[in-house]
Structure 1
Amino acid sequence: MKIRPACVEDRTAWDPLWKGYQAYYEVDLSATTDNTWDRLMNPKETGPWCLVCEEDDGRLIGFTTYLLHDHTWGAEPRCYLVDLFTKPESRGKRVGRQLIEAVHAEAQKLGCSQTYWLTQHFNEAGRRLYDKVAKETPFIKYQM
């Protein structure tokens, strides 16, 4: 397996992964998919960026997106891992872990003080992985 930045030629292979991600979270982001892809291919200074996991035969089996942002608790930026998805048949093969570690490595290169992400309570499989690679925080999200 190889983790690498997504490129324009990946769009056709990325689309089914993006749709699988939406299905998992029971959302329909089809109205923003083209815009999302365009932003991933033309990130601003702080992102968003996309990494993909590629099998030895070139098939994409997972992806993650991330961005940087400033905050008031320190001078260094923070890295927010926005999306993470692995094809169901590829789960348990360290794809998610490798994608998270790749994002964190990029964040460290960019001088970030931390890498963090959110997940839903029902994401039990994801949370088992997250508990191995990171520390759960006590924060609760509110949204308007």
Structure 2
Amino acid sequence: MTTIRALLPADRDVWEPLWRGYLEFYETELSEEQTALTWNRLVDPQFPIHGALAVDEGGTAVGIVHWLTHAATWSAEPYCYLEDLFVDPSQRGAGVGRALIAHVADWAEAHGSPKVYWLTQETNTTARGLYDRVATRTGYVHYQIGLGA
């Protein structure tokens, strides 16, 4: 059985290969400095980004999830944005992704958030199969403007 737990400062060595797998899946490269900054934010209890680790029966890390909350104009309570979700490819279809999403939903509900939402690529059909079973597809289309920073 998979266990989902909060990331701990000692987890960097098991988190980072999953993080790198996530970035590779999305064909993205980040600097070592950004990865270190992301890690430090995830384990800093004063920073408003949270992370959890999925661990299998043998103690192997098999998935990660990161989320944050933000104020909203349509709600008095903050919305919860599930920003990153990755499951080791060898563990896909075994319920790890579902468990990670449920962990975030439970956390968000306990913290008064009225909803959890996330984005994925249209072509991410495997993950979308899960998402269609555990959430409502809203029909919104995502746009962004990249700024020079």
Q: Which runs of 5+ in 2 are unaligned?
A: none
Cα distance in 1 for residues equivalent to 2:143 and 2:76: 25
* TM-score after normalising by structure 1: 0.96
Q: Once the 2 structures are TM-superposed, how far is the Cα of residue 44 of structure 1 from its aligned partner?
A: 3.5
Residue 66 of structure 2 aligns to a residue whose secondary structure is strand
Partner of 2:78: 77
Partner of 1:35: 37
Residue type at the aligned position of 2:36: D
- Aligned-pair Cα RMSD in Å: 1.0
Q: Which runs of 5+ in 1 are unaligned?
A: none
Cα distance in 2 for residues equivalent to 1:106 and 1:29: 28
Q: Once the 2 structures are TM-superposed, how far is the Cα of residue 43 of structure 1 from its aligned partner?
A: 4.1
* TM-score after normalising by structure 2: 0.93
Cα distance in 1 for residues equivalent to 2:108 and 2:126: 24
Cα distance in 1 for residues equivalent to 2:142 and 2:30: 21
Aligned positions of 1:1-144 closer than 5 A: 1-31=2-32, 32-44=34-46, 47-144=48-145
Cα distance in 2 for residues equivalent to 1:44 and 1:115: 21
Residue type at the aligned position of 2:127: G
Percent of aligned pairs sharing the same letter: 43
| 1:90-113 deviation digits (Å, cap 9, x = unpaired) | 001000000000000000000001
Residue 53 of structure 1 aligns to a residue whose secondary structure is strand
Q: What is the aligned residue count?
A: 143
The runs of 4+ residues in structure 1 deviating greater than 3 Å are none
